[in-house]
Amino acid sequence: MDVISLGNRTDLALLELGGSEVEDCGDHLVVRSPHNPAYWWGNFLLLDRAPAPEDIHRWMDRFAAVLPEAKHRAFAIDGTDGTLADLDGFAERGLSVEASTVMTMVSETRTADLTSPMKSGNPGTSRRLILCPFQFACNTERVIEIERSISS
């Protein structure tokens, strides 16, 4: 499945860095966190579009088949448009529905703007552009190391 939403892409990348598994099934992804089967947004189906109300039972059955240890049901819908009304079929089955708004950068920002010291806050603080997934992973590993040393 080609994930469109940058919010979903980010969530999936972070889940994978945390040890979750993502299985591509064509029209949906199965996200599993075997180390934490009770984690709702670590064990869910990401659908490529909102299903028709008459197809909700099929997705409920699919969830039970691929995530049998989960006591919950969690579905995410990929895309950048749509309304809560598109999810009425889930609501009719007793599931809570909500929409999320994700902030993204819509215009190119100059690298100099990202690496210069911030205008407010701590003058010793700076921000920089992460240029590739490798840098993201290295930074994530560094944050995890810092958190571990603080909690020790």
What is the pairing mode between strands 44-47 and 28-32? antiparallel
Token code pair at residue 13 = 């990348």
Predicted pLDDT at 76:
94
Task: Give first-to-last CA distance, the chain, whole Å.
Answer: 40
Amino acid identity of residue 3, one-letter, is V
pLDDT (0 to 100) of residue 151: 54
pLDDT at 98: 87
Q: Would you place residue 145 in the very low, low, confident or very high pLDDT band (cuts 50, 70, 90)?
A: low
Q: Which residue pairs from 143-148 have beta carbons closer than 8 angstroms and sit at least 24 positions apart in sequence?
A: none
Of 6-10, 14-18, 43-47, 108-112, which one has max mean pLDDT? 43-47
Q: What backbone torsions phi and psi does residue 35 show, to the nearest 5 degrees?
A: -75, -10
Ordered by start, the domain boundaries in the chain are 6-92, 111-151
104's tokens: 């993204």
pLDDT tens digits, residue range 12-58? 999 999 999 999 999 999 999 999 988 989 999 999 999 999 999 99
